Structure 1
């Protein structure tokens, strides 16, 4: 079993906590103003503080610090985050630090939306800053200064987040390529071990077996040439030893040809040094897995890892392989956002074709509450697809 690694300090997690720290600045200032100065504070304080708590909770849902169901789209949360920021600034425009919340929303949407949409939203938020400051009676110079400052703050945050996105994407693609290379290396290693084992078995059979057979024949001839006595007894003993040794070589050759490779070392090497996911692997090989089935399992796990890193915000992937007398079952589950409508791409279609080619099945889906699940089965008795179709067509 490969133990799962600890949760990672990911780029998104860093951004989440930095955003929360930035959003806390206006709240701390408002709290200090309300308790230590003569400022009245926000209009309807309970509304402002309720909106602030909702803002923080929404921010944590957006970045995955709090669990989010796949029924709640992240885009809806981002729109709600922007609306809450506007509400907080509108209820207390006299405090200029509240506009820092727009910097937080600009950074949050930059992690999910394209650059053109982010620019439009940032421009609208900058205009909102100007309108709110003007409505609060700020001098024109201060209004213009606030517009300029918060426009630049938002631009800085957007550029930083897009740079982080680019770096994270590059790391993800590198991890995917590395996983694919490790999968190929694991399969090559299994094939090499199998080829080496078969070569040794053939050499034992062809060389040692041949010479032991010749030795037994020579001793058989010698038995007829040696008269009764101690010499004949020693020749008979040597003939029995040669015959027993020949039988032992035959058994060893048969065992070497039939000995299966364990799939766990190959899966272990496949998941080593994958920083993008915490991968847990559990293998129960109560029955040996044939090489052609091992290839299917390894390719299935590799494709699942690739899909999780490319198309999901999963942080954990659990793989369970059960090889029983009735067949092989592979279960792969991640903790990503999932999808209510699963569309099979080339990777999943190729995976299904591998299982169906040996008489198995592949089921994919997204359970309630998020995540993505893949279950592949390979029966013990394989029936070719053509034979199954003929059987289904017959009355």
Structure 2
């Protein structure tokens, strides 16, 4: 599930970084010191550190990258901020680099590592400011800027914790709904077994009597007795038709109600994820193994979208053509590379192949994961 406003936050961070160029080329507090006043090699090194800082900021906040890669970019981000400040502090006006770095690394690193980087940045800052303002002035400003860095990191940590809590709650709610759907399916299976036994006992008795009446009507010589036997057979036939209709109504399975109910639960618990489900209106009841596999595929795909894909939209389409059912599931997110198939999808693929079907996982150029499963509707020879 993509965090609301994440792209806007990245853009605002880059705009804030670019705005520091104006500060660097302007004598903001009348220090008579601009980046143009640096020596040639210092100016070139500062420009390189400032440019790499922007690149590292963009990569560090990129949701599609792995956490380990983003942490490496975070370390580079903090290092570039320290280099830029040591070369050109401008009376503390360039400390925005360090505050931005503190917020960025707080999103990808542990609290202990974030605090360590903040204190290292502050040591560099006090060393840079002491040359312009003396040790007392440098220490005073550094302490204030240290508070700003810690405040920024604290905001990011609180935001991350709140987001992860909401994500965990949504995932738990989703798994609970799937478990409930499977329990309902188990209960319906037991009820169908009970009705089938009743059909066997009830219909067998009535069919035996019907056969005797028809046999009697075929052999009795008198018309009145033959007519009475036929009338009894007709009445019994009407009773049998009523029993069959009741049994059919009890055995009728609305195959996609579980998927649609789970869709509603997913939408209710994840307002930031738009879920679209398209299922066919199949006239005949589908094999239980097929509908169960479709429900499990929906479960695994939407759960992975919520946990890993950083997506805003999720699609689940089911197509029935002849004796084959095809399921397509995809989102508009970007999977973290390298793409690895977890135990859930691996087990699901094994289940589908055991039913005589096929299962494919593909990665689009944009990083979205597409799942495709095909299942035969003729379950003869399969469990």
Measured against the shorter chain, the TM-score band is: 0.7 to 0.9
Task: Compute the displacement of 1:159 (Å).
Answer: 3.1
Task: Compute the displacement of 1:143 (Å).
Answer: 0.5
Instruction: Pick from 234, 237, 256 the counterpart of residue 240 of structure 1.
Output: 234
Instruction: Pick from 89, 94, 99 the counterpart of residue 90 of structure 2.
Output: 94
Q: Is the 8 Å Cα contact of residues 103 and 149 (structure 2) preserved in structure 1? A: yes
**Is 1:121 paired with 2:117?**
yes
Deviates more, 1:117-126 or 1:91-100: 91-100
Change beyond 3 A, Cα 1:80–1:267: farther
- After superposition, residues 359-374 of structure 1 pair within 5 angstroms as 359-374=356-371
Task: Compute the displacement of 1:197 (Å).
Answer: 4.8
Partner of 1:334: 331
Q: Is the 8 Å Cα contact of residues 280 and 320 (structure 2) preserved in structure 1? A: yes
Distance, in Å, in 2 between the alignment partners of 1:90 and 1:194 is 72
**Is 1:346 paired with 2:346?**
no
Q: Is the 8 Å Cα contact of residues 89 and 99 (structure 1) preserved in structure 2? A: yes
Corresponding residue SS for 2:269: coil
Task: Compute the displacement of 1:120 (Å).
Answer: 3.1
- After superposition, residues 23-172 of structure 1 pair within 5 angstroms as 42-44=34-36, 59=57, 62-64=60-62, 73-75=69-71, 77-79=73-75, 81-82=77-78, 85-86=81-82, 89=85, 92-135=88-131, 137-172=132-167
Q: Is the 8 Å Cα contact of residues 51 and 88 (structure 1) preserved in structure 2? A: yes
Q: Is the 8 Å Cα contact of residues 358 and 383 (structure 1) preserved in structure 2? A: no
Task: Compute the displacement of 1:107 (Å).
Answer: 1.4
Q: Is the 8 Å Cα contact of residues 267 and 298 (structure 1) preserved in structure 2? A: no
Q: Is the 8 Å Cα contact of residues 78 and 98 (structure 2) preserved in structure 1? A: yes
**Is 1:303 paired with 2:309?**
no
> Could you list the per-position Cα deviations for residues 249-289 of structure 1 after superposition, in whole angstroms to 9, with x for gaps in the alignment?
447646865x5532254254253423164333232465753
Partner of 2:40: none
Corresponding residue SS for 1:242: helix
RMSD in angstroms over aligned alpha carbons? Answer: 4.6
Distance, in Å, in 1 between the alignment partners of 2:373 and 2:230 is 58
Instruction: Pick from 287, 290, 310 the counterpart of residue 293 of structure 1.
Output: 290
Corresponding residue SS for 1:333: strand
Which runs of 5 or more structure 2 residues have no equivalent in the other structure?
38-42
Q: Is the 8 Å Cα contact of residues 111 and 161 (structure 1) preserved in structure 2? A: yes
Change beyond 3 A, Cα 1:242–1:76: same
Instruction: Pick from 262, 265, 269 the counterpart of residue 262 of structure 2.
Output: 269
Which runs of 5 or more structure 1 residues have no equivalent in the other structure?
386-395
Corresponding residue SS for 1:329: strand
Change beyond 3 A, Cα 1:113–1:278: farther
Corresponding residue SS for 2:4: coil
Distance, in Å, in 2 between the alignment partners of 1:27 and 1:90 is 16
Corresponding residue SS for 2:319: strand
Corresponding residue SS for 1:139: helix
Partner of 1:393: none
Q: Is the 8 Å Cα contact of residues 16 and 60 (structure 1) preserved in structure 2? A: yes
> Could you list the per-position Cα deviations for residues 5-62 of structure 1 after superposition, in whole angstroms to 9, with x for gaps in the alignment?
9x8636x56865785687688578679x66x987767414999999879866864564
Change beyond 3 A, Cα 1:316–1:92: farther
Change beyond 3 A, Cα 1:102–1:383: farther
**Between Structure 1 and Structure 2, how many residues are aligned?**
372
Distance, in Å, in 1 between the alignment partners of 2:340 and 2:65 is 19
> Could you list the per-position Cα deviations for residues 310-329 of structure 1 after superposition, in whole angstroms to 9, with x for gaps in the alignment?
34434433323333324233
Task: Compute the displacement of 1:111 (Å).
Answer: 1.1
Corresponding residue SS for 2:89: coil
